[in-house]
Amino acid sequence: MKSFLILEDGTSFSGERFGAETTATGELAIQTGNHGYQEALTDPTNAGKILVFTTPIIGTSGINAINYEAINPKVRGIIANDIAWQITTHENFQDLGRFLEEKRVPAIWGVDTRALVHKLAQKNVIKASIMDTDDQHAFDQIKALVLPKNKTSQVSTGSAYAAPNIGQTVAIIDLGLKHSLLRALSLRKINCLVMPYDTTVQDIYDLRPDGLILSNGPGSVSEVKTALTAILKTFYGKIPIMGIGLGFLILSDYLNFKLTPLNPPFNGNNYPVIETKTSQIWQTAMNIQKLVSGPDLTDDLTQTYFELHTHLLAGFTSQENKLIATAFNPEGSPGSFAARGIYDQFLKMMEMSR
């Protein structure tokens, strides 16, 4: 069945529909990774997006529940050049198209994704729709579309819950966390207490955590700044704090670092960063709209990580202030495990603070 991806600038791309038979609107985003399509489409940070996969084919390994980043995907749609119709017959794997049908996510394949990438190369945000027609009425609809705000409230947990273990206790403020974050902490025997995005200072006090994590997520700093500023004013420098993705942006804003927009935003697992003291290079996974400009940095940073293509700051550590922040996902998922030692640094920081 023929389907269309229509853009707010009046252009359209045709292809064949698969997945759910429904229309969808959202923010068009490039997914540059050559693997990990399942993690990408279930990552809460991709909430509200129509993902354009640059890899030539997706779906070859099907869907495996072990690799979910969230049980229910929040993506609005998927665009692909080609898809695999035959996968393993193992009972633990599900066909991609069937999974998308169950989760009510529409998709189109047979699209010239290279042309889409060129169109998006200098765009920060572009509205798009997956529809059965590309007539004038459809374009009028996409022009009138207002992209939803307050994404954090849509993906954060509604109530606190525990991911128990036997080690030190970490309070995680859920801004759209990935399952792989909890998995990485569990492997280090960290006892995780996951809190809603609008948790209070008193809520954190009552937990008496050894550390605090601000998770990744799809929202913007402005959406959560008011609530989290009070928490950072209370706990900054007193207990170890780690920020990932959106958490990185929040901590950077709190420190008055200059946030620089990326055009297009980073969304994939092929972004190299260099640690400046050792010159060690990691291939990392990122899903972020901004990084930090270097000139605003303070002198009390123990480690800094710069993204090699843009030369912008993508991570930093301050031993004095018990702080770690990374724009990239240290656990990969998908992506390289090269940066997973960041979690070990955070664990050591908590041990030294006891």
pLDDT tens digit at each of 354 positions of the chain:
899 999 988 889 999 999 999 999 999 999 998 889 999 999 999 999 999 999 999 998 889 888 899 999 999 999 999 998 877 667 778 889 999 999 999 999 999 998 888 888 766 678 999 999 888 888 888 888 888 888 999 999 999 999 999 999 999 999 999 999 999 999 999 999 999 999 999 999 999 999 999 999 999 999 999 889 999 999 999 999 999 999 999 999 999 999 999 988 999 999 999 999 899 999 999 999 999 997 556 667 999 999 999 999 999 999 999 999 999 999 998 888 899 999 999 999 999 988
Concatenating the DSSP letter of every residue in 73-84 gives: ----EEEES-B-
The structure tokens listed for 149 are 């705000």
Question: Hey, do 2-148 and 152-353 end up sharing a CATH topology, with the first three levels equal?
Answer: no
Q: Which CATH class is domain 152-353?
A: alpha beta
**Contacts with 255 (C-beta within 8 Å, 6 or more apart), sequence order:** 298
- Pinpoint the alpha helices (H) of the chain: 37-42, 96-102, 113-120, 136-144, 151-155, 179-187, 201-207, 221-235, 246-254, 341-353
Kindly list the domain boundaries of the chain, sorted by start residue.
Answer: 2-148, 152-353
- For 52, residues 6+ apart whose C-beta sits below 8 A from its C-beta are 28, 29, 30, 31, 79, 111, 113, 116, 117, 120
Given this structure, which CATH class describes domain 2-148? Answer: alpha beta
In one-letter notation, the amino acid at residue 266 is F
pTM of the model: 0.95
Nearest to 334 by CA among 33, 93, 32, 29: 33
Grouping H, G, I as helix, E, B as strand and the rest as coil, residue 285 is: strand
> Quick check: helix, strand or coil at residue 35?
coil
